[in-house]
Amino acid sequence: MNRLQDKVAVVTGAGSGIGRAAAVLMARQGARVVVADHDAPAARETAGIITEAGGQALPVAVNVLEEDSVAAMIATTVEEYGALHVLCNHVGGTNPRTDLDLLRMDMDEFDRAVALNVRSTLLGSRHAVPHMIRAGGGSIVNTASVAALVGDVLQTSYGAVKAAVVSLTKSIATQYGPQGIRCNAVAPGAVMTPALENNLPQEVIDGLRSGNALPYLGSPEDIGHTMVFLASDESRYLTGQLLVVDGGMTTQSPAAHWRRAMLPA
């Protein structure tokens, strides 16, 4: 259980959900983890979970919309742990109440989406890469979404900015591969995070489940395990790639659910 032994990892958005799962799982695999989140108490809570289990973690409050805050997060990591090997750019999202279809979407929300998803990923990577070069290489793991791969009736901004994260991932992988830096992205499908469970009615959750090829929705740990793999040397020959972790949502035909009823018993 030491796949990340002697590595230092930063996970943004680690105060809850997928980010928390990734931070806890990376620590369990031997990494020293900087738990970064805009919600300082939530970051401390995640760090407490890690340290109570015998791991090493440092909570850091960060505002990924501000470059000085991102730079301070990376500087604090190197000052505390002496190096940086893994960066998980997990912060993102949009407001589905204002990120609507093309004609009704709020343009201020679009600008915020670019900053929260794309610019934050760029800034985190920009400040991490020099330290990774000094460490002899590293792994950047970006969070995209299946929204980058399909069209939808709302959250137009979200799909567009997550597609930009995929493109940025490929550029970073190409530019810094010669220095031993890998950069990959994960595209989660519907995942049973607290945000999903607390904000969607059961019939919507059931509908999401029926859209999967598998008979269940994912957990934050399902995505976290994928991030651990991308952070570890087990994926040393993998870079510039998008790993879709969606229970078969983007694989299954929209007609597959009802066509099953046509099969003989």
Q: Where are the domains of the chain?
A: 8-199+220-244
pLDDT at 197: 82
Note if 176 is an active site residue. Answer: no
Considering the candidates 81, 158, 176, 237, report the single residue annotated as catalytic.
Answer: 158
> Which pLDDT score is estimated for 39?
98
Contacts of 242 (CB under 8 A, 6+ apart): 144, 148, 166, 169, 184, 185, 186, 187
Length of the chain equals: 265
> Tens digits of per-residue pLDDT, 19-78?
999 999 999 999 999 999 999 999 999 999 999 999 999 999 999 999 999 999 999 999
Tokens of 234: 């087990």
- When mean pLDDT is compared across 3-7, 120-124, 213-217, 260-264, the lowest value belongs to 260-264
In CATH terms, 8-199+220-244 corresponds, of 3.40.640.10, 3.30.300.130, 3.40.50.720, 3.40.50.150, to 3.40.50.720
pLDDT at 127: 98
What are the tens digits of pLDDT across the range 71-88? Answer: 999 999 999 999 999 999
